[in-house]
């Protein structure tokens, strides 16, 4: 595969686990410089050291901040972008928190999902996009979900936030008509990451039960797809990708042994 992204710089939110972590490794292997953003500073530092040892010619920067806090996002990212143009933005930071009815859902869970999955994506994009427009180039991948296509029982607010992510991806493409900036929404299905453990507030046994009886997607599978999308020629804009394990054909059709 021809490497069209070598020597570019990618900003990855939620870089310390799951899709973000796997994408950091996959892009580093493609010789892409990285700006790694996440809340857990120790994990960021460990990842930076690992990648720097493995790929000593790359520039690896880390930024410990919470995408839910606009002032911090704006000030810290603008500092970095004064010295380092961002060619690629992976809006990966997101989570599911809780699984309950719209009647009795936990308000704290709701706020956390809305603030991270939706407002966090907006805050980062609003900060990065003006610089991309100045240079008339850039590539954004927003991590959506099959839950943004089809709502499932007790997934109400999480599904709503991911549906909004899909809508924002469409809106970004429309608003950026006439520019060289491309936008893709990538919507994975069942994937075995920390997702379910976070949703169930650290209950590992309950989280593991979600993936029993079939082979789910791995974070590395999603990272491979991200590399494929980014590596498309400049005249090709892959706007939406739905990606599921072979055992799953919709949120309601999952073959488990």
pLDDT at residue 252, rounded to an integer? 82
Q: What is the pLDDT of residue 1?
A: 73
Distance CA 76, CA 79 (A): 5
Rounded Cα gap, residues 60 and 11, in angstroms = 10
Fold of 9-254: Rossmann fold (3.40.50)
CA distance 158 to 112: 10
pLDDT string in tens for the chain (257-residue length): 799 999 999 999 999 999 999 999 999 999 999 999 999 999 999 999 999 999 999 999 999 999 999 999 999 999 999 999 999 999 999 999 989 999 999 999 999 999 999 999 999 999 999 999 999 999 999 999 999 999 999 999 999 999 999 999 999 999 999 999 999 999 999 998 866 666 667 667 776 777 889 999 999 999 999 999 999 999 999 999 999 999 999 888 899 98
Q: How many residues does the chain have?
A: 257
CB 182 within 8 A of CB 237: yes
d(CA 239, CA 243): 13
Give the per-residue pLDDT at 204: 72
Q: Could you say which of 55, 70, 158, 211 is catalytic? A: 158
pLDDT of residue 209: 76
pLDDT at 198: 65
- How buried is 253 (Cβ within 10 angstroms: 0-12 exposed, 13-18 middle, 19+ buried)? exposed
Q: Which stretches within the chain are classed as H helix?
A: 18-29, 41-54, 70-83, 107-113, 121-135, 156-175, 195-199, 204-209, 219-230
Encoding tokens for residue 243? 């990606």
Is 158 designated active site? yes
């Amino acid at each position: 595969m021809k490497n069209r992204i070598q020597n570019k710089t990618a900003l990855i939110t939620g870089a310390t686990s799951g899709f973000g972590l796997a994408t950091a490794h996959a892009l580093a292997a493609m010789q892409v410089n990285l700006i790694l953003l996440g809340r857990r500073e120790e994990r960021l530092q460990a990842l930076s050291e690992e990648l720097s040892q493995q790929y000593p010619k790359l520039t690896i920067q880390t930024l410990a901040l919470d995408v839910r806090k606009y002032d911090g996002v704006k000030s810290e990212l603008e500092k970095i972008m004064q010295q380092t143009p961002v060619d690629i933005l992976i809006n990966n930071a997101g989570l599911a928190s809780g699984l309950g009815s719209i009647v009795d859902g936990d308000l704290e869970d709701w706020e956390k999902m809305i603030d991270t999955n939706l407002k966090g994506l907006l805050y980062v994009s609003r900060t990065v996009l003006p610089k991309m427009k100045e240079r008339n180039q850039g590539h954004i991948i927003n991590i959506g979900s099959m839950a943004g296509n089809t709502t499932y029982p007790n997934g109400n607010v999480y599904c709503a936030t991911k549906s909004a992510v899909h809508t924002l991806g469409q809106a970004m493409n429309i608003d950026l008509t006439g520019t060289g900036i491309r936008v893709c929404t990538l919507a994975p299905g069942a994937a075995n990451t920390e997702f379910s453990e976070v949703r169930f507030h650290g209950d590992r046994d309950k989280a593991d039960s979600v993936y029993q009886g079939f082979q789910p997607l791995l974070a590395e599978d999603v990272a491979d797809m991200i590399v494929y999308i980014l590596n498309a020629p400049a005249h090709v804009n892959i706007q939406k990708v739905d990606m599921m394990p072979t055992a799953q054909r919709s949120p309601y059709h999952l073959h488990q042994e």
